Amino acid sequence: MVSKQESLPRGGWRIKLQELHTRRKRAVCLDNRFTSPKPRRARIALFLAAVPILLLFSLMMGPSGIGIPDLETASGSAIFSLRLSRLLMGLLTGAALSASGVVFQALLRNPLAEPYVLGVSGGAGLGATISILLGASLALPLSLPIVAFVSAVLTLVLVYAIASQGSGGQPSVYSLILAGVIVSAICSSIIMFLVSSASVEGMHNVIWWMLGSLQPASPSQQQVAALLVAIGLGGAWVLSRPFNALVLGRDMAHYQGINAGFVITLGLLLATLLAATAVSLSGMIGFVGLIVPHVVRASFGPDHRRLIPLSALGGGLFLVLCDAVARTVLAPVEIPVGVVTALAGGPFFLIILQKRMKQAWIG
């Protein structure tokens, strides 16, 4: 008689480990060695206590030095209001990008998955560029995130279709990255063509937006973006338990009674919605969804019930601090915040890629 262990599918050893995971009531991510032992409540409490302090510090940073502007003067009040608006924009955009990265990494089981790397941000940028040049974003604030979302979904479908060629519908990490880079390059070329054909004013608006900026959008656009980000974050958190199973493979999710196809489709749509909303709000800001999830996962563990909200909070904090650096490091000249995140994310991406290749994780 064939034993129970012998009758297990090829990934049966993962199922046994998942039983251990259930008894211990914690998520175990076998495919990500950037994990730490069981999250400690003290770390989470320390992080939550540090967030308001760092946000206040970033609010005090400016070209003239560190300090709160004189609120009794008109100029001081205007400067403080602008900093506060940029802080809120940074929190909203960073949370969306970071949570999007968490979902992409869980569903694709790929530690390098990120909206910028997969070309989703490039597709959303193309749609947003068209909307900006046509003036639709000024006439209807909701048009910008909608166009960006539709364009991002089409881009993700195209990337996955290209990467799946000859792989039986299961693209490898390399094929996804290469397809994402290729499609993103094509989107960037189209954007450059549109910019070169636009008026001087349209060219200036699009180029500054492409570099990434936390300049406050219109109140109506911020409200729409906040609603979409709340929907994306809420939906992703509701799916956190299925994500914990999916990182161990589809077989594990199937044996736990999870409809893997439905969860993956819905998760990809939620992650794309978050990325597209962030792009429509603040432009092309890359690598936030790559850096923050890895740091949070290493610090607090891989359980998505904690990982998603903590990554969202950490992503917002990270982007706010990057914006503070961007407006002070070369004062009075302001650097686009997307440049700061790219300078931080590029080396981080290479380090992760090098470690994975040494561990023979990528094949």
At 359 the pLDDT is 57
Is the pTM value of this prediction over 0.85? Answer: no
At 28 the pLDDT is 39
Residue 134 in any domain: the answer is: yes
At 27 the pLDDT is 40
69 vs 353: which has the higher pLDDT: 69
The residue range of the domain holding 115 is: 39-47+86-358
Which residue is it, tokens 């962030």?
Answer: 278
Per-chain mean pLDDT for the chain: 80
Mean pLDDT of 279-296: 88
326 vs 212: which has the higher pLDDT: 326
pLDDT 10s digits, 247-258? 887 777 778 888
Q: Reduced to 3 states, what is the DSSP secondary structure of residue 65?
A: strand
Domain count, the chain: 1
Residue 335 in any domain: the answer is: yes
Residue 301 in any domain: the answer is: yes
Residue pair 277/13 in contact by the 8 Å Cβ criterion:
no
Q: Give the domain CATH number at 164.
A: 1.10.3470.10
Mean pLDDT of 117-130: 87
Residue 196 in any domain: the answer is: yes
> Does residue 190 come out as left (phi exceeding 0), alpha (psi in the -120 to 50 range) or beta?
alpha
154 vs 355: which has the higher pLDDT: 154
pLDDT band at 138 (very low <50, low <70, confident <90, very high): low
Residue 181 has pLDDT above 90, yes or no: no
Query: Residue 213: CA atoms inside 13 Å, Cβ hemisphere, count?
Result: 13
Residue 8 in any domain: the answer is: no
Residue 126 in any domain: the answer is: yes
Quick one: three-class SS letters along 204-254? HHHHHHHCCCCCCCCHHHHHHHHHHHHHHHHHHHHCHHHHHHHCCCHHHHH
241 vs 67: which has the higher pLDDT: 241
Residue 116 has pLDDT above 60, yes or no: yes
Mean pLDDT of 23-28: 42
Residue 39 has pLDDT above 60, yes or no: no
In angstroms, the CA 22 to CA 256 distance is 11
Residue 280 has pLDDT above 70, yes or no: yes
Residue 32 in any domain: the answer is: no
Residue type for position 80: F
Give 285's DSSP letter.
-
Residue pair 172/109 in contact by the 8 Å Cβ criterion:
no
At 3 the pLDDT is 44
Residue 59 has pLDDT above 50, yes or no: yes
In angstroms, the CA 363 to CA 222 distance is 42
Mean pLDDT of 220-230: 88
Angle at Cα 307 formed by Cα 153 and Cα 124, nearest 5°?
20
Strands (E), the chain: 61-62, 65-66
At 32 the pLDDT is 40
Residue 58 in any domain: the answer is: no
